[in-house]
Protein backbone atom coordinates (compact mmCIF):
# COMPACT_ATOMS: atom_id res chain seq x y z
CA UNK A 1 0.00 0.00 0.00
CA UNK A 2 1.56 3.29 -1.08
CA UNK A 3 1.97 6.40 1.02
CA UNK A 4 -1.01 8.27 -0.49
CA UNK A 5 -3.42 5.40 0.21
CA UNK A 6 -2.20 5.16 3.80
CA UNK A 7 -2.77 8.90 4.25
CA UNK A 8 -6.33 8.69 2.96
CA UNK A 9 -7.03 5.58 5.02
CA UNK A 10 -5.89 7.45 8.13
CA UNK A 11 -8.10 10.37 7.08
CA UNK A 12 -11.18 8.12 6.76
CA UNK A 13 -10.47 6.41 10.08
CA UNK A 14 -10.34 9.75 11.83
CA UNK A 15 -13.62 10.82 10.23
CA UNK A 16 -15.25 7.52 11.24
CA UNK A 17 -14.12 8.03 14.83
CA UNK A 18 -15.61 11.48 14.83
CA UNK A 19 -18.96 9.94 13.90
CA UNK A 20 -18.83 8.00 17.14
CA UNK A 21 -18.14 9.48 20.57
CA UNK A 22 -15.45 12.13 20.27
CA UNK A 23 -16.43 15.77 20.75
CA UNK A 24 -13.18 17.11 19.29
CA UNK A 25 -10.66 15.60 16.97
CA UNK A 26 -7.87 16.44 14.54
CA UNK A 27 -7.54 14.75 11.14
CA UNK A 28 -4.95 15.00 8.38
CA UNK A 29 -5.57 15.33 4.68
CA UNK A 30 -2.95 14.93 1.96
CA UNK A 31 -1.92 18.60 1.97
CA UNK A 32 -2.96 20.25 5.20
CA UNK A 33 -4.12 19.81 8.73
CA UNK A 34 -7.88 20.12 9.17
CA UNK A 35 -9.35 20.82 12.58
CA UNK A 36 -12.93 19.70 13.05
CA UNK A 37 -14.16 21.24 16.28
CA UNK A 38 -17.20 19.03 16.78
CA UNK A 39 -18.10 15.43 16.13
CA UNK A 40 -21.27 14.50 14.30
CA UNK A 41 -22.64 12.72 17.36
CA UNK A 42 -22.11 15.80 19.49
CA UNK A 43 -23.92 17.99 16.96
CA UNK A 44 -26.82 15.55 16.71
CA UNK A 45 -27.07 15.38 20.49
CA UNK A 46 -27.30 19.17 20.75
CA UNK A 47 -29.86 19.35 17.95
CA UNK A 48 -32.06 16.76 19.65
CA UNK A 49 -31.76 18.70 22.92
CA UNK A 50 -32.95 21.85 21.14
CA UNK A 51 -35.92 19.86 19.91
CA UNK A 52 -36.97 18.63 23.35
CA UNK A 53 -40.67 18.38 24.17
CA UNK A 54 -40.49 20.95 26.98
CA UNK A 55 -38.83 23.57 24.79
CA UNK A 56 -41.01 23.12 21.69
CA UNK A 57 -44.23 23.02 23.71
CA UNK A 58 -43.28 26.28 25.41
CA UNK A 59 -42.31 27.99 22.14
CA UNK A 60 -44.68 26.51 19.55
CA UNK A 61 -47.27 24.54 21.51
CA UNK A 62 -46.28 21.42 19.56
CA UNK A 63 -44.55 18.27 20.76
CA UNK A 64 -42.40 16.90 17.91
CA UNK A 65 -41.51 13.85 20.00
CA UNK A 66 -45.08 12.61 20.37
CA UNK A 67 -45.39 10.06 17.57
CA UNK A 68 -49.06 9.26 18.17
CA UNK A 69 -50.29 12.84 18.36
CA UNK A 70 -47.98 14.40 15.75
CA UNK A 71 -46.67 11.62 13.50
CA UNK A 72 -45.69 13.89 10.60
CA UNK A 73 -44.03 16.48 12.83
CA UNK A 74 -42.15 13.63 14.53
CA UNK A 75 -40.72 12.41 11.21
CA UNK A 76 -40.03 15.85 9.72
CA UNK A 77 -38.28 16.99 12.88
CA UNK A 78 -35.90 14.05 12.75
CA UNK A 79 -35.26 14.60 9.06
CA UNK A 80 -34.36 18.23 9.77
CA UNK A 81 -32.12 17.23 12.68
CA UNK A 82 -30.16 14.65 10.71
CA UNK A 83 -29.76 16.80 7.59
CA UNK A 84 -28.85 19.97 9.49
CA UNK A 85 -26.36 18.02 11.61
CA UNK A 86 -24.59 16.78 8.48
CA UNK A 87 -24.41 20.28 7.01
CA UNK A 88 -23.05 21.71 10.26
CA UNK A 89 -20.53 18.89 10.60
CA UNK A 90 -19.00 19.30 7.14
CA UNK A 91 -18.97 23.11 7.07
CA UNK A 92 -18.45 24.15 10.70
CA UNK A 93 -14.74 24.79 10.12
CA UNK A 94 -15.44 27.22 7.27
CA UNK A 95 -15.47 31.00 7.60
CA UNK A 96 -19.13 31.38 6.63
CA UNK A 97 -21.20 33.37 9.15
CA UNK A 98 -24.60 32.56 10.61
CA UNK A 99 -26.15 35.60 8.92
CA UNK A 100 -24.80 34.45 5.55
CA UNK A 101 -26.58 31.13 6.04
CA UNK A 102 -29.77 33.04 6.87
CA UNK A 103 -29.38 35.13 3.70
CA UNK A 104 -29.11 31.93 1.65
CA UNK A 105 -32.24 30.69 3.45
CA UNK A 106 -34.04 33.90 2.42
CA UNK A 107 -32.83 33.91 -1.20
CA UNK A 108 -33.91 30.31 -1.74
CA UNK A 109 -37.55 31.36 -1.30
CA UNK A 110 -37.89 33.60 -4.41
CA UNK A 111 -35.73 31.18 -6.41
CA UNK A 112 -38.04 28.29 -5.53
CA UNK A 113 -41.09 30.47 -6.14
CA UNK A 114 -39.91 31.37 -9.65
CA UNK A 115 -39.17 27.72 -10.42
CA UNK A 116 -42.63 26.67 -9.24
CA UNK A 117 -44.35 29.32 -11.32
CA UNK A 118 -42.70 28.24 -14.58
CA UNK A 119 -44.78 26.01 -16.81
CA UNK A 120 -42.22 23.22 -16.78
CA UNK A 121 -42.39 20.05 -14.70
CA UNK A 122 -38.61 19.84 -14.19
CA UNK A 123 -38.35 23.34 -12.72
CA UNK A 124 -41.51 22.72 -10.67
CA UNK A 125 -40.00 19.63 -9.03
CA UNK A 126 -36.76 21.52 -8.34
CA UNK A 127 -38.86 24.25 -6.70
CA UNK A 128 -40.71 21.65 -4.63
CA UNK A 129 -37.40 20.17 -3.50
CA UNK A 130 -36.09 23.59 -2.44
CA UNK A 131 -39.26 24.53 -0.54
CA UNK A 132 -39.29 21.14 1.19
CA UNK A 133 -35.67 21.43 2.34
CA UNK A 134 -34.94 25.17 2.74
CA UNK A 135 -35.98 25.20 6.41
CA UNK A 136 -33.03 22.94 7.15
CA UNK A 137 -30.88 26.08 6.86
CA UNK A 138 -33.11 27.73 9.46
CA UNK A 139 -32.07 24.96 11.85
CA UNK A 140 -28.44 25.25 10.81
CA UNK A 141 -28.03 29.00 11.37
CA UNK A 142 -29.29 28.86 14.97
CA UNK A 143 -26.77 26.23 16.01
CA UNK A 144 -24.08 27.97 13.95
CA UNK A 145 -24.69 31.34 15.65
CA UNK A 146 -24.49 29.83 19.14
CA UNK A 147 -21.41 27.73 18.44
CA UNK A 148 -19.49 30.58 16.79
CA UNK A 149 -20.78 33.23 19.18
CA UNK A 150 -22.60 35.10 16.41
CA UNK A 151 -26.03 35.46 18.03
CA UNK A 152 -27.44 38.91 17.19
CA UNK A 153 -30.67 40.85 16.90
CA UNK A 154 -30.00 41.26 13.18
CA UNK A 155 -29.86 37.50 12.79
CA UNK A 156 -33.12 37.01 14.68
CA UNK A 157 -34.86 39.62 12.51
CA UNK A 158 -33.48 38.11 9.31
CA UNK A 159 -34.65 34.69 10.45
CA UNK A 160 -38.20 35.92 11.00
CA UNK A 161 -38.10 37.83 7.72
CA UNK A 162 -37.01 34.68 5.91
CA UNK A 163 -40.06 32.83 7.18
CA UNK A 164 -42.39 35.60 6.00
CA UNK A 165 -40.72 35.84 2.58
CA UNK A 166 -40.87 32.06 2.21
CA UNK A 167 -44.62 31.92 2.85
CA UNK A 168 -45.32 34.85 0.52
CA UNK A 169 -43.22 33.39 -2.32
CA UNK A 170 -44.91 30.01 -1.93
CA UNK A 171 -48.41 31.52 -1.99
CA UNK A 172 -47.66 33.68 -5.03
CA UNK A 173 -46.11 30.76 -6.89
CA UNK A 174 -49.24 28.68 -6.17
CA UNK A 175 -51.37 31.33 -7.87
CA UNK A 176 -49.11 31.35 -10.94
CA UNK A 177 -49.05 27.55 -10.96
CA UNK A 178 -52.87 27.51 -10.96
CA UNK A 179 -52.87 30.06 -13.78
CA UNK A 180 -50.51 27.91 -15.86
CA UNK A 181 -52.43 24.75 -14.99
CA UNK A 182 -55.92 26.05 -15.81
CA UNK A 183 -55.36 28.97 -18.15
CA UNK A 184 -57.92 30.98 -16.16
CA UNK A 185 -57.04 34.67 -15.84
CA UNK A 186 -58.83 34.86 -12.49
CA UNK A 187 -55.84 33.18 -10.83
CA UNK A 188 -53.51 35.82 -12.24
CA UNK A 189 -55.74 38.58 -10.84
CA UNK A 190 -55.98 36.82 -7.47
CA UNK A 191 -52.18 36.48 -7.35
CA UNK A 192 -51.78 40.23 -7.90
CA UNK A 193 -54.43 40.90 -5.24
CA UNK A 194 -52.65 38.54 -2.83
CA UNK A 195 -49.39 40.43 -3.36
CA UNK A 196 -51.24 43.70 -2.65
CA UNK A 197 -52.86 42.50 0.59
CA UNK A 198 -49.52 41.22 1.89
CA UNK A 199 -47.57 44.35 0.96
CA UNK A 200 -49.70 47.15 2.41
CA UNK A 201 -50.60 45.98 5.91
CA UNK A 202 -51.12 49.23 7.78
CA UNK A 203 -49.87 47.96 11.14
CA UNK A 204 -46.56 46.75 9.74
CA UNK A 205 -46.04 50.02 7.91
CA UNK A 206 -46.98 52.05 11.00
CA UNK A 207 -44.68 50.09 13.29
CA UNK A 208 -41.70 50.54 10.94
CA UNK A 209 -42.51 54.27 10.56
CA UNK A 210 -42.73 54.78 14.33
CA UNK A 211 -39.48 52.90 14.91
CA UNK A 212 -37.73 55.08 12.34
CA UNK A 213 -39.09 58.30 13.84
CA UNK A 214 -38.25 57.22 17.38
CA UNK A 215 -34.69 56.42 16.29
CA UNK A 216 -34.49 59.84 14.61
CA UNK A 217 -35.77 61.45 17.82
CA UNK A 218 -38.79 62.91 15.97
CA UNK A 219 -41.40 61.43 18.28
CA UNK A 220 -41.30 60.41 21.92
CA UNK A 221 -42.84 57.53 23.78
CA UNK A 222 -44.94 58.42 26.80
CA UNK A 223 -45.03 55.48 29.18
CA UNK A 224 -45.76 55.89 32.88
CA UNK A 225 -42.99 54.27 34.95
CA UNK A 226 -43.74 50.69 36.03
CA UNK A 227 -46.61 50.51 33.55
CA UNK A 228 -46.79 48.75 30.25
CA UNK A 229 -48.35 50.08 27.09
CA UNK A 230 -52.14 50.25 27.03
CA UNK A 231 -53.53 46.74 26.81
CA UNK A 232 -55.62 47.65 23.79
CA UNK A 233 -52.38 48.28 21.95
CA UNK A 234 -51.18 47.78 18.45
CA UNK A 235 -50.67 44.03 18.63
CA UNK A 236 -53.54 42.91 20.83
CA UNK A 237 -55.67 41.70 17.95
CA UNK A 238 -57.38 38.54 19.15
CA UNK A 239 -59.63 40.42 21.58
CA UNK A 240 -61.49 42.00 18.66
CA UNK A 241 -62.56 38.59 17.36
CA UNK A 242 -62.87 36.84 20.71
CA UNK A 243 -66.63 36.48 20.17
CA UNK A 244 -65.93 33.74 17.62
CA UNK A 245 -65.90 30.10 18.82
CA UNK A 246 -62.43 28.81 19.74
CA UNK A 247 -62.58 26.05 17.14
CA UNK A 248 -63.06 28.64 14.38
CA UNK A 249 -60.25 30.81 15.72
CA UNK A 250 -57.87 27.85 15.93
CA UNK A 251 -58.80 26.80 12.40
CA UNK A 252 -58.24 30.31 11.06
CA UNK A 253 -54.86 30.81 12.74
CA UNK A 254 -53.51 27.31 12.09
CA UNK A 255 -54.66 26.49 8.56
CA UNK A 256 -52.22 27.41 5.78
CA UNK A 257 -50.00 29.08 8.38
CA UNK A 258 -46.59 28.52 6.81
CA UNK A 259 -45.54 25.73 9.16
CA UNK A 260 -43.90 22.64 7.71
CA UNK A 261 -47.05 20.52 7.67
CA UNK A 262 -48.98 23.20 5.74
CA UNK A 263 -46.14 23.86 3.28
CA UNK A 264 -45.56 20.16 2.66
CA UNK A 265 -49.29 19.52 2.19
CA UNK A 266 -49.35 22.21 -0.49
CA UNK A 267 -46.28 20.71 -2.17
CA UNK A 268 -48.03 17.33 -2.19
CA UNK A 269 -51.10 18.89 -3.80
CA UNK A 270 -48.88 20.37 -6.52
CA UNK A 271 -47.58 16.88 -7.35
CA UNK A 272 -51.13 15.50 -7.34
CA UNK A 273 -52.27 18.27 -9.68
CA UNK A 274 -49.38 17.57 -12.06
CA UNK A 275 -50.16 13.87 -12.42
CA UNK A 276 -53.93 13.68 -11.87
CA UNK A 277 -55.16 17.15 -12.96
CA UNK A 278 -57.34 17.31 -9.83
CA UNK A 279 -57.26 21.13 -9.52
CA UNK A 280 -57.37 20.71 -5.73
CA UNK A 281 -54.69 23.36 -5.44
CA UNK A 282 -57.00 25.91 -7.05
CA UNK A 283 -59.42 25.51 -4.15
CA UNK A 284 -56.57 25.83 -1.64
CA UNK A 285 -55.31 28.99 -3.34
CA UNK A 286 -58.76 30.57 -3.09
CA UNK A 287 -58.72 29.79 0.66
CA UNK A 288 -55.29 31.44 0.93
CA UNK A 289 -56.61 34.58 -0.77
CA UNK A 290 -59.70 34.64 1.48
CA UNK A 291 -57.56 34.32 4.61
CA UNK A 292 -55.20 37.04 3.41
CA UNK A 293 -58.16 39.33 2.68
CA UNK A 294 -59.61 38.79 6.15
CA UNK A 295 -56.23 39.56 7.71
CA UNK A 296 -55.89 42.68 5.56
CA UNK A 297 -59.33 44.02 6.55
CA UNK A 298 -58.91 43.00 10.19
CA UNK A 299 -55.49 44.63 10.30
CA UNK A 300 -56.90 47.99 9.26
CA UNK A 301 -59.87 47.64 11.64
CA UNK A 302 -57.59 46.90 14.60
CA UNK A 303 -55.34 49.81 13.63
CA UNK A 304 -58.32 52.16 13.42
CA UNK A 305 -60.05 50.98 16.62
CA UNK A 306 -56.97 50.58 18.82
CA UNK A 307 -55.79 53.45 21.02
CA UNK A 308 -52.12 52.50 21.06
CA UNK A 309 -51.14 55.85 19.48
CA UNK A 310 -51.89 57.53 22.81
CA UNK A 311 -48.48 56.31 23.92
CA UNK A 312 -46.73 58.36 21.23
CA UNK A 313 -46.63 62.02 20.31
CA UNK A 314 -44.67 64.16 17.90
CA UNK A 315 -42.06 66.43 19.36
CA UNK A 316 -42.76 70.14 18.97
* pLDDT at residue 200 tops 50: yes
In a domain, 268, yes or no: yes
Residue 303 pLDDT grade (very low, low, confident, very high; cuts 50, 70, 90): confident
Task: Specify the CATH number for the domain of residue 115.
Answer: 1.20.120.1760
Domains contained in the chain, number? 1
- 3-state SS assignment for residue 176: helix
- Classify residue 299: in a domain, yes or no: yes
How many angstroms separate the CA atoms of 244 and 107, rounded? 38
What pLDDT was estimated at residue 126? 97
- Three-class SS state of 163: helix
Whether 240 is covered by a domain: the verdict is: yes
In a domain, 141, yes or no: yes
Query: What is the Cα–Cα distance from 203 to 294, expressed in whole angstroms?
Result: 14
pLDDT of 231 reads 41
Q: What predicted TM-score, i.e. pTM, was given to this entire model?
A: 0.79
70 phi/psi in degrees, rounded to 5: -130, 70
Among 45-49, 82-86, 208-212, the range scoring the smallest mean pLDDT is: 208-212
Beta strand spans in 54-171 (E): none
Around Cβ 203, how many Cβ atoms within 10 Å? 17
232-253 tens-digit pLDDT: 444 445 555 555 566 565 656 6
- Give domain status of residue 309, yes or no: yes
What residue numbers bound the domain in which 145 lies? 95-314
| Residue-level pLDDT at 177 | 96
In a domain, 65, yes or no: no
* Any domain includes 47: no
pLDDT average, residue stretch 39-58: 84
Distance CA 76, CA 74 (A): 6
pLDDT in tens, 138-149: 999 988 888 888
* Lowest mean pLDDT segment, chosen from 19-28, 55-64, 153-162: 19-28
**3-state secondary structure labels for all residues of 27-61:** EECCCCEEEECCCHHHHHHHHHHHCCHHHHHHHHC
pLDDT attached to residue 124: 97
Report the alpha-carbon distance of residue 37 to residue 22 in Å, rounded.
10
Residue 35 in this model has a pLDDT that exceeds 50: no
Q: Are 139 and 195 in contact (CB under 8 A)?
A: no
Domain assignment present for 214: yes
For the ranges 57-71, 225-239, 300-314, which has the lowest average pLDDT?
Answer: 225-239
Q: For 67-89, what is each residue's pLDDT tens digit?
A: 888 888 889 999 999 999 999 99
Q: What is the pLDDT, as a whole number, of residue 245?
A: 61
184 has a pLDDT exceeding 60:
yes
d(CA 133, CA 138): 10
pLDDT for the residue 240: 53
Write the CA distances from 117 to 159, 174, 267, integer angstroms.
Answer: 24, 7, 13
Amino acid sequence: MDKINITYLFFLIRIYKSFLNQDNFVCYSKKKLIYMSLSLNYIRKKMYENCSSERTLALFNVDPNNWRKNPYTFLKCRYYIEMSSLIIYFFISSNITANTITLIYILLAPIAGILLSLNNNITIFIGIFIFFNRSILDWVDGFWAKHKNQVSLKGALLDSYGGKIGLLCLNLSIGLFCFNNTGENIFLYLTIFLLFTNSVLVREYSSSLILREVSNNEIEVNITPHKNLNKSNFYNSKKYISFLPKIILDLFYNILDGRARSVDSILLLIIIDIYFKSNLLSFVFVLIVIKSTIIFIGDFYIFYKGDWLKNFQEKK
